[in-house]
Amino acid sequence: MEIGFAHKLLLLAPMVAALVGTAAFVLLQPAGYQSSATVWVNGGGVGSQSAAAAQADIVNQFLKTNTFALAVAQNSPLGEYLNTHSDAAQGSSITTQIKELFGRGGNAQKPSDDAIRTYLAAHVTVAQLGPSELTVTMNGPTPDVARGTALALITQLSTAEVTVRTTPAQTQLALYQAQLQDQAKVITADLAAIRDYLAAHPNLVKDANAASTDPQLAILQDAATVAKQTYVALLAKIDQTQSDLDLARKPNNAPFRVVDAPQTPAAPSLGKQQLIAGGAGILAGLVLMAVMGALLVRLDTTIHSADEVHSMVGLNVLGSTPLSARA
Amino acid sequence: MKEVLDVTNASKASGPASSWPKSLYATPRVPVPAWSPSQNETFVAEDIMEGCRGAAQHIDLEGLTSLGITSSLAGEGRTTLALAMALVLAEYGLDTILLELDLGHPELAQRLGIAKFPGVGDLAEGRASLADTMRPVTTGLTVIPAGQTHGSVSRALRQLAEIDLLDNLGNQGHVVVADLPSLLGNSVGRHAASLMADLILVVRANVVPTTSIKEAIDGLHTTPRVLLNGTKSRVPGWARRLSGI
């Protein structure tokens, strides 16, 4: 402790340097505007996971997909912003930020799909407020981009979830419809076969008794009947599946409902990146301080007290004085 | 003190210092009147005086003739402690002369507000008599400042040795406290230290590496004792209370 207070400046220098570096980094970051939506998750959770936690996982998984990110970007001001500020989507290096400061940054290259996904994932935060409530926050470069992207995100999230939920039914419906078309062809073929058979045996048309006892005609008629029954059954299945789909798409069955819609932020706020940078800067400063302190202790070979004089240099001590003003 | 000055004033007429009759110095130690330590407050802080008073209790004052205050490096508080130690010895009733032998970096005259010339350098080079160089500053304490040295410092120190200044002052009953140069950096410090019967090594706590101290004391004619300077903790009170020290 004595060494620490004797070398206060040396100890504080790393912390000050780290804080100055962090402050410079944070100041070089573009201003961030946050717009949040609070949503209430319908239904229960999954296993021991709460509904909000499960929904948060779903949001984070969607944020990892290009399709979702592109849809959000296209339906919000974010797409236009990233088209005109490709540096933002590519990730902003210090040199890029310095160029932007001097008005030389930014070009019109269209960002890649991966870049858009990465940007969106880095600027969206999902946080649980309770077992069924969570907030989705967009940290955008402008107030409009922040709010517009948050709105598009919620909308796209709802659409994507409904799509995911209804995809099996839609696949089933498509299968049924294909089977129905095939079955219609079977019925047409079976009826054609009956007509051909009756044309070849005109007596069966005139003699109902003969027709009823003709085994071949009976086989053809049975086949046509079965085909019709199958067709009707398929129609019923299609109706049922369609009903299920309509039900799933009704607003009452949406995966969540928006409690608080995103608002246009009035002032910039510290983003996740800035907070992380600040924390990292303080941590780095503390580590450097500890390293500096350890070095000072390790390299210190000075005498601190009268007791150390004899043991360290073998001389007798006459006395001791506080520090003289001129020393 | 007055008598001593009278004696040295008489010697001034007899020529250069090297030719002064030694018998003139051979006066008994002059008793000095008691005086209060509070008179020293303008020169040295009282807590430093207190530390030197404690140190003086471990010195054999009866046999003390010359005491050199030196240090390993410059800036360890040598001059302040030499002045404090001289004041303390004066408090003890010793007729003390504070001799400034740090001829390269003299400070005493300016600090005490006395005339810088003539001084030790002038005495050694024959431009002044001993009486001219002596400045009584307070009861029991006379200061001989560094003065002016035209030749090299080493040569001036040799000349001082030749005129037996320290022995002669001792024979007059004076106790000499010398503010010496630091021991490291050049040979002047060792040369000056070799003139002194006893040595005190000022060590500035928390600053001077032990390697410097060992190097400084290596080869000295007498083993110095240490006056540790700057032992007051730099840890503030609140930090000591928090840490339980």
pLDDT at A109 over 50: yes
What was the pLDDT predicted at B162? 93
- The model's confidence at residue A232, banded by pLDDT at 50, 70 and 90, is very high
Poorest-confidence range of A117-126, A176-185, A244-253, A310-319? A244-253
List the alpha helices (DSSP H) in B92-209: 108-112, 120-124, 130-133, 153-162, 165-171, 188-194
Select B45-232's CATH number: 3.50.50.60, 3.30.70.2190, 3.40.50.300, 3.40.605.10.
Answer: 3.40.50.300
Q: What is the pLDDT of residues A119-154, one digit of tens each?
A: 999 899 999 999 999 999 998 889 999 999 999 999
pLDDT at A248 over 50: yes
Give contacts of A326 with chain B, Cβ < 8 Å: 77, 79-80, 107, 111
DSSP state of B195: T
Does residue B223 sit at the A interface (CB-CB below 8 Å)?
A: yes
CB contact under 8 A, A316 and B233: no
User: What single-letter amino acid sits at A93?
Assistant: S
What was the pLDDT predicted at B35? 40
Examine the predicted complex and report whether its ipTM is higher than 0.90.
Answer: no
CB contact under 8 A, A304 and B200: no
Mean pLDDT by 10 residues, chain B (245 residues): 34 35 36 42 81 93 93 93 95 95 93 93 93 93 95 93 92 94 92 95 91 93 93 73 72
User: What single-letter amino acid sits at A124?
Assistant: V
How far apart CA B152 and CA A152 sit, in angstroms, is 89
- The model's confidence at residue A66, banded by pLDDT at 50, 70 and 90, is very high
Facing residues of A140 across strands? A33
The torsion defined by the Cα of B24, B26, B29 and B33, in degrees rounded to 10, comes to -10
What was the pLDDT predicted at A230? 94
What was the pLDDT predicted at A250? 81
User: What single-letter amino acid sits at B32?
Assistant: V
Kindly report the pTM of this predicted structure: 0.54
What was the pLDDT predicted at A231? 95
CA nearest B73 in A: which residue?
A: A327
Domain ranges across chain B: 45-232
For chains A and B, count residue pairs whose Cβ atoms are closer than 8 Å.
Answer: 135
Q: How many CB atoms lie within 10 A of CB B125?
A: 20
DSSP percent split of chain A into helix, strand, coil, nearest 5: 70, 10, 20
Cα dihedral across residues A61, A64, A67, A70: positive or negative: positive
Within the 53-112 window of chain B, which residues sit less than 8 Å (CB to CB) from chain A? 54-56, 58-59, 75-77, 79-81, 84, 107, 111
Test the B interface: residue of A301, A304, A321 with most B CBs within 10 Å: A321
- The model's confidence at residue A272, banded by pLDDT at 50, 70 and 90, is low
CB contact under 8 A, A313 and B217: yes
- The model's confidence at residue A96, banded by pLDDT at 50, 70 and 90, is low
Poorest-confidence range of A106-115, A164-173, A284-293, B16-25? B16-25
Give contacts of B205 with chain A, Cβ < 8 Å: 302-305, 320
